[in-house]
Amino acid sequence: MTRPDLSAIVTFHGEGILAHTSLRSYALSRSVARQNSVEVQLVLVLDNADPQTRMFVTEHPDLDGTEVLVETRLGDAALARNAGVAACRADYVCTLDGDDLISTGYFLVHMKEAARQQGRFILHPEMVLSFGMYSAFNWQVDQDGSYYDENALLTVNPWISAAFSTRELFESIPYVACYPKRTGFGYEDWYWNAETIAQGVVHRLAWGSAYFYRRKWHGSLNEASHALRTVIPRTSLFALGRKRGEGQGHV
């Protein structure tokens, strides 16, 4: 089997029929990438997935047999992503959620932007369009741009969980489980963003890509974390004695 250029990890839990539309979106973006000679491997992680979600994923009409299915009982979004990374075969990896959508050129645009980067980097989609419980849109922050403020990470996560980087980076800086109900800590992607910056990784944007973020009425991990009043674990980004911007890479 030809080695893929990009492995896209999609995590599923209890999305039900929403998994169908998400996979249709990801498969369409994969098709566009293939038309431009970029092979995308879909790594489908079913973590404590209910029977309905599992059915919509495993029997999806757009699957072509090149996908990798990973079934786990981890019960944690961070660990589920790490399990997906372990199943990836490509040198580049991106993370997606099982109830969202992406622009048709999403994979291709990220791959083209990655080819222009130097050093250790993470790419995020340029624009996020929220839909569902409410509608909104925003442009994400490029760490090399004028709108980036490292101190802002004390109070807000500048990026959604969708991330793109090398497999080496995901392996060397894995996501860390929070288990908010037990620990009071949450927002594993926010914490991961802070830790990667502390280790000199630069967060950039894949210009021209859009992520469609489903804001759910019920079952949202972010909303649950808000309700529990969780905070991110103590991050080395704001360790005593660390100078602002210390360790930041350049591209």
Per-residue model confidence as pLDDT tens for the chain (251 residues): 689 999 999 999 999 999 999 999 999 999 999 999 999 999 999 999 999 999 999 999 999 999 999 999 999 999 999 999 999 999 999 999 999 999 999 999 999 999 999 999 999 999 999 999 899 999 999 999 999 999 999 999 999 999 999 999 999 999 998 776 666 657 899 999 999 999 999 999 999 999 999 987 655 555 544 554 577 877 889 885 566 655 554 33
Rounded distance between C-alpha atoms, residue 115 and residue 135, angstroms: 33
Could you tell me which residues come within 8 angstroms of residue 242 by beta carbon, excluding any fewer than 6 positions away? 198, 236
Rounded distance between C-alpha atoms, residue 136 and residue 145, angstroms: 23
Query: What does DSSP say about strands 68-72 and 92-97: parallel, antiparallel, or unpaired?
Result: unpaired
Rounded distance between C-alpha atoms, residue 144 and residue 191, angstroms: 20
pTM, rounded to two decimals: 0.91
For helices 77-86 and 188-198, angle between their N-to-C axes, nearest 10 degrees: 60
Rounded distance between C-alpha atoms, residue 209 and residue 142, angstroms: 13
**Strand pairing partners for 212?**
101, 129
